[in-house]
Amino acid sequence: MLFTSRTWRQVTSELPDGPAKRYVVDPQPSMKTPIEDIRLLATDLETTGLDPSRDQILSIGFVPVNGLEVDLSGAGHLLVRPDGDVGDSATVHGITDDALATALSPGEALDAFFTAAHGRVLLAHHAAIEVRFLGNACQRIHGFRPRFPVVDTMALQFKLLSQGFDDEPPPGSLRLNAARSQYGLPRYAAHNALTDALACAELYLAQVAELQPLGVRTLKPLLKY
Amino acid sequence: MDVELREIHDFLSSHPPYSLLPAKVLDDLVGRLHLRYFRRGTTIIELGAANNSLYILRSGAIDIYRAGKDLVERADPGSSFGTSSVRSRQPSAYKIVAIEDSLVLVMPGDVFHRLLTGEPEFAEFFDTGQKDVMKRAVAELQGDSGGRTVLKTRVGDLVKREPITASPDLTIRQAAKIMTEHKVSALLITEGNRIRGILTDRDLRSKVVASNVSREQPVTTIMTTDPLTIAPTALAVEAMLEMLGINVHHLPVVDGDKLLGLVSSGDLMRLETANPVFLVGDIAKQASPEGLATVTGRLPLLVAQLIEQDASADEIHRLVTAVSDAISDRLLKLAEAELGPPPVPYEWLVLGSQGRYEHGLGSDQDHVLLLDDAATAEDDAYFAALAEYVTAGMETCGYPRCPGEVMATNPRWRQTLKAWTTDFHRWLTEPESDAVLHAQIFFDFRCIHGGGQRAETLRDTIRSLAPRSPRFLGHLATEAVERQPPIGFFRGFVLERSGSHRATLDLKSGVHCVVELVRVLSLANGIAAVNTIERLRAASAAGAFSADSENALLEAFEFITYLRLRHQAQQAAAGITADNSVSPDDLTALEKKHLRDAFGIIRRAQQGFAYRYQTHLMS
């Protein structure tokens, strides 16, 4: 596709100016950034389904993490207006067509997300979903698929649980709530993108507190992609 | 952007003082917070470190150490900390350590200061004056006080005018004329400050009119000599009990040497005709322990009603004690009716919580017999039978026997004034720590039957001896300081989430911290009172406490005992045997905070005491 025919520089130089372009063009966090200084954006999406090629984003929740601190002042919860009706997913997420009437278009939502994510590492629990859906959306709107530096709390949890053992972690132990309960983090009843993003951010703080004494000092060993 | 950090919002809105914030302010606040995570064992604020944030514990548990050493508080989620340093902008006087993996909400100092300025209710919560904190806690528990009742009214408040008095030289006719002129039903016969007797309408009717005594006789021939008096601080219901006990309708109210006036049964009846009156009235009518048990069976409901009516713990304690006293007294009379008159005079002393006017629901019996010195070994059979009758009767009425056998049924605790004096003398002058600690409740004795002159003689001995008994006081003091309020309980809240076992809090230990501390200070100062509140006031007047710590301790004591009574009343209503173990589920977040404050106040009083004690008494 685009990657094979042209250089990344060529692609980005042709992009219209805006948050998406600035996100990919401006420098991203260095691999050597000390843990205390890593800037991340914990992100969670609610979607109409699990297939990025067919399903759509319904909402984007995010909250910034600055080093070892979650900054609630930067929290955001974007409702996205999809094409067609919401269907069955509304019963899961509680998002109705009515609520979506006030929502942003996918392009506006993506701009708001990239503005918040500027200069930050994407932080998510099982990040593949977020990366694929956000990538697809960007591809559809701007014609390119951005590279996301990603820290995945599920991958970190796998790493922490399988330390020194050959066995894999017990099934279910990697799920967000199960992982959180291992650190005594409060249980969240609500199920929406912002709450899950916050839950992920808190889990990250706990994991990093666990990893630091093990010699993890910089961004590099935390990164998934 | 519609940001709803619902989880954080709901968390804050269920914890004071954030729950006191207007909705708009709270919404805005959530977006100004940060979150941090501390591993178990990490120091959150170092002693002496600058701190420009307020912390709110989101999950986990923390310990707060004063000067890095003494544990001041163990906080559970919802607690705020770092408050004093961020307020004062001074280096932290506390070291704060996460004792569990903890998630903490961080409020920047400027945000906190803005809230303090803009939200008075919020600011009030952080007032460091412990006194006010506890006062508010008590007020919150009790709500606005309703109408004054027989339980809330002190006898002193009932005295409306100077007493009408007359000299003992008068004739019956002259006295009757004075009574008619002043429209009073009783006349006090006084000589100087001393009350010689009391003359009532009833005396005139029954002794003069009915028995044809000459009206020219001196008034002293028909008056009741040396009438029972009552202190102005006594509750109206206590006056009522006294009257019922000796079948009189008037009691002179005396404050020390000063005659204040007279209180009549009519004064009392005009107060609310609340149930306690009838309850107490019923006691005198009962002719068997089983009959008395039907009266005490109504006590739990009554206590629940009193709590409903916003009575204070002190008032409820006094009422419950008054009922216990009346039951004991009635049982003694029934026993005497069955066994015949006693071979020698005796006094029935109650000890422990009943002695201190602090009987609660489910409290056990503690009592001893104080016999006239004329008693011989042969007389003991009578008193053994008497003691067994009363103790068994009390048991029937729901007062468990004392597990330590501190009861008149124990021959060891049935003895003459002389023998008691020897015992107290030995406890005071040759104290072996175990024996003295065991004997502590003996120092709370109070006579409820038999006049009390011997008991007062005994008390005078103790009052003069105790302040000069440093080793004895030392043992008591050590014990009083070592008994720690259950601050650690709040850690139980945190551990509980593992579900392994349900933590409950023993309120009794908190109560006893105050009782013991106050007892030793009261003995050290030769104070006669036995009630903890009266002792505390007297000890404070003697300089043992500052006015601030006096009030803080009074309120802490009131708060803990109130929670205990409420808990016991709830248990009784549910048909469960009353105990002292409260589950955290039964306390609101605010009550938990106040309870922690109360324990903190007690701990600080103990520490202050430990310091003073070593320097002043043990030197």
Please report residues of A whose CB lies closer than 8 A to that of B8: 72, 198
What's the Cα-to-Cα distance from B263 to each of B195, B298, B315, rounded to whole Å? Answer: 15, 28, 19
Q: Does domain B6-128 have CATH number 2.60.120.10?
A: yes
Whether B263 contacts B230, CB under 8 Å: yes
* Residue B492: per-residue pLDDT: 44
E strands present in B479-618 = 505-506, 581-582
Nearest Cβ partner for B4 among A77, A188, A201: A77
Q: Which fold has domain B155-270?
A: CBS-domain (3.10.580)
DSSP A109: H
Are B1 and A78 a contacting pair at CB < 8 A? yes
Angle between helices B507-524 and B589-616 (to 10 degrees): 30
In chain B, where are the structural domains located? 6-128, 155-270, 462-616
Quote the minimal CA–CA distance from A49 to chain B in Å: 23
Nearest Cβ partner for B101 among A69, A79, A183: A183
Whether A66 contacts A35, CB under 8 Å: no
Report chain A's C-alpha Rg in angstroms: 18
Confidence of residue B619 (pLDDT cuts 50, 70, 90): very low
Please report residues of B whose CB lies closer than 8 A to that of A71: 34
Whether B419 and chain A come into contact, CB under 8 Å, resolves to no
Q: Across all residues in chain B, what is the average pLDDT? A: 82
Given a cut of 50, is residue B298 above it in pLDDT?
yes
What's the Cα-to-Cα distance from B162 to each of B166, B252, B253, rounded to whole Å? Answer: 13, 11, 11
* Residue B439: per-residue pLDDT: 82
| pLDDT single digits (tens) B244-275 | 667 677 889 988 778 888 888 777 765 644 44
Confidence of residue B491 (pLDDT cuts 50, 70, 90): low
Cβ neighbours around B371 below 10 Å, total = 25
Amino acid at A28: Q
* Residue B616: per-residue pLDDT: 46
In chain A, where are the structural domains located? 36-222
Find the residue in A nearest to B105 (Cα).
Answer: A70
* Residue B503: per-residue pLDDT: 63
What's the Cα-to-Cα distance from B169 to each of A41, B162, B196, B198, B221, rounded to whole Å? Answer: 99, 21, 11, 14, 11
Q: Which CATH architecture has domain A36-222?
A: 2-Layer Sandwich (3.30)
The model's pTM = 0.50
Distance CA B490, CA B414 (A): 44
Out of A113-117, A209-213, B138-142, B464-468, give the one with best mean pLDDT: A113-117
Quote the minimal CA–CA distance from A211 to chain B in Å: 11
Least reliable range by pLDDT among A14-23, B85-94, B258-267, B501-510: B501-510
Find the residue in A nearest to B498 (Cα).
Answer: A184
Least reliable range by pLDDT among B6-15, B182-191, B433-442: B433-442
Nearest Cβ partner for A190 among B6, B32, B103: B6
Given a cut of 70, is residue A163 above it in pLDDT?
no
Report chain B's C-alpha Rg in angstroms: 28
Find the residue in B nearest to A70 (Cα).
Answer: B35
B6-128 against B155-270: fold identical? no
Given a cut of 90, is residue A130 above it in pLDDT?
yes
Mutate to test the interface with A, among B11, B28, B29, B35 (most CBs of A within 10 A): B35
Are A202 and B37 a contacting pair at CB < 8 A? yes
ipTM associated with this complex: 0.83
| pLDDT single digits (tens) A54-78 | 888 989 999 999 999 999 999 999 9
Please report residues of B whose CB lies closer than 8 A to that of A112: 1
Least reliable range by pLDDT among A12-21, A203-212, B44-53, B145-154: B145-154
Quote the minimal CA–CA distance from A209 to chain B in Å: 6
Distance CA A222, CA A89 (A): 33
* Residue B382: per-residue pLDDT: 96
* Residue B295: per-residue pLDDT: 82
Q: Looking at the DSSP assignment, which residues form a beta bridge with residue B74?
A: B63
* Residue B227: per-residue pLDDT: 85
Are B4 and A194 a contacting pair at CB < 8 A? yes
Given a cut of 50, is residue B615 above it in pLDDT?
no
pLDDT, mean of residues B269-287: 64
